[in-house]
Structure 1
Amino acid sequence: MKIIRLIALAALGCSGAAQAQVSSTVALTTEYQVRGIGYSGNDPALSMSLDWAGENGLFVGAWASNTDSFASGDPYDDGANIEIDFYGGYNGQLENGLRYGVIGYYYTFPSTNYNINYPEIGVSLGYGNFNAYAYYSNDMISTSQSSQYLAADYTFNLPYQVDLSLMAGHSFGEYFRQTELTGAHEYSNWEVALKRSFGPINTKLSWVDTDLSGRYYNDGEYLRNDGRLIFTVSHTF
């Protein structure tokens, strides 16, 4: 949380020297998923963000969505039904077109049965239609276990204003190796997505999957990680 506060203060401190832009995005998706894992109980999810971005590259924001990871009565049920994330960072670009960025997150789950809030920091590099990302948390889901995530994506610009995006990532680290403690396991995920905008409305149809198998494979209602289609529609104000 200290990382987010420092970045937020820096952004607000520079707001007088550079014009700022405030925006909000509302999205409805058939399933809320992160890195191939479903977090809305196989039900639709409604999310909203509020973002501030300065011309100097600094930004801060907040994002919220409904969430449901466990059935009622499940011994692991954390009681979470909403997620609110706070973030801030900086994006820049060199004269040769190379993009770079740093971002800090603090994920919160209000009104839960126990504390599962945690921080994460990420860096990114991009050039043209290619992007690469690296994320690190020293306290994944408040377990005192560290985690890392590496990912990359590439977008093909197709005819009729359609974009085809290919993404692959890998989750690993102490949290995912402590299988008896966390119930997790190191794994890879990937996504193939078609995107198109219709005026102010953005649409995305994705095929999401992971390589989790055996006792870690889950095609059920909660925390599913099997291959499935997800459709999202959004609008930015």
Structure 2
Amino acid sequence: MPKNFSQSTKTALAVVVLAVTSLSSQSVADDMSYVTLSANAALTTEYRFRGLSLSNHDPAIQGGFDLSTKSGFYLGAWGSSIESYEGSEVELDIYGGYATEIGNGLTADVGLLAYTYPGSDGTAYLELYGSLSGAIDIVDWTVGAAYVWDQGNVGNTDNIYIYLDASMPLGDTPVSLDGHVAYEDGAFGDDKWDWSLGASYSFEQYSLSVAYVDTNVEDSIGKAAVVATLSASF
């Protein structure tokens, strides 16, 4: 664990680890139909996180797995290759949360996510997230927010990220139009905006997407680009 983790951060991360251990033990002891295990893998022309290229415009390999229960609780891990960061070339995210339908076609999702960078020191931090999803006619939408409280590994400054995603199928085809707009302010952005517009094509367990991604960040990692991603779920 990074040396600069605050005590509150260590405690929160311990809760995530404990939940993973508890749910894994329960999945062995209980009816296995109660727990669903899924996995995903992707190859992308560059890893864009909230509009910024964390792979420095190089291709990235990504993948993860999720363990979900019928009650709505879930745990998972996801990783991606990145541009070298404090000695690490991998981002590994560990998360746990709860998702449930709340009526009127709405779904709520809340959880805690740990960003870690294996091989580095003093870089991991935690983030709380929540979202609400629904549909208006044929348009699926999600509005959400993610909050990082002040932690030693993020300069003792908090951060807020607010976003809106929308997706609309093109007739009866397996193609959909996808849009995204978001605002960020704090440790990782100063009045920062990012947005994207693209299309995705789904076939069997695969998905191919192409999107134009841009930000108002002047650094090279925020410049506009067209990003293509081939992903698979299992």
Shift of 1:198: 2.2
Length, aligned pairs only: 213
Q: Whole-Å Cα distance in 2 between the matches of residues 141 and 166 of structure 1?
A: 32
- Structure 1 runs (4+) deviating above 4 angstroms are 9-15
Aligned to 1:228: 225
Structure 1 segment 175-190 matched on structure 2, within 5 A = 175-176=187-188, 184-190=189-195
**What whole-Å deviation, never above 9, does each CA across 1:46-92 have from its counterpart, x for those lacking one?**
011011011111110111111105xxxxxxx6222111110010110
Aligned to 2:107: 99
Q: Whole-Å Cα distance in 2 between the matches of residues 203 and 79 of structure 1?
A: 32
Q: Find 2:35's aligned residue among 11, 20, 29.
A: 20
Structure 1 segment 44-193 matched on structure 2, within 5 A = 44-68=59-83, 78-112=86-120, 114-128=121-135, 129-138=140-149, 139=151, 141-159=153-171, 160-173=173-186, 175-176=187-188, 184-193=189-198
Q: Is the 8 A contact 1:193 1:204 kept in 2?
A: yes
Q: Whole-Å Cα distance in 1 between the matches of residues 17 and 77 of structure 2?
A: 13
Q: Is the 8 A contact 1:140 1:147 kept in 2?
A: no
Shift of 1:141: 4.6
Q: Is the 8 A contact 1:25 1:48 kept in 2?
A: yes
Q: Is the 8 A contact 2:174 2:203 kept in 1?
A: no
Aligned to 1:38: 53
Q: Whole-Å Cα distance in 2 between the matches of residues 91 and 196 of structure 1?
A: 26
Aligned to 2:214: 209
Q: Whole-Å Cα distance in 2 between the matches of residues 232 and 81 of structure 1?
A: 20
Identity %: 27
Q: How well do the aligned residues superpose, as a CA RMSD in angstroms?
A: 2.0
Shift of 1:3: 4.5
Q: Whole-Å Cα distance in 2 between the matches of residues 13 and 94 of structure 1?
A: 29
Check 1:109–1:10 CA distance in 2 against 1; reply closer, same or farther (3 A cut). same
What's the secondary structure of 2:88's corresponding residue?
coil
Tell me the TM-score normalised to structure 1 length. 0.83
Check 1:111–1:105 CA distance in 2 against 1; reply closer, same or farther (3 A cut). same
Residue type matched to 2:175 in 1? V
Moved more, 15-24 or 59-68: 15-24
Q: Whole-Å Cα distance in 2 between the matches of residues 10 and 90 of structure 1?
A: 15
Q: Whole-Å Cα distance in 1 between the matches of residues 18 and 181 of structure 2?
A: 31
Q: Is the 8 A contact 2:67 2:76 kept in 1?
A: yes
Any unmatched runs of 5+ in structure 2? 1-12
> Which structure features the higher share of strand residues?
2
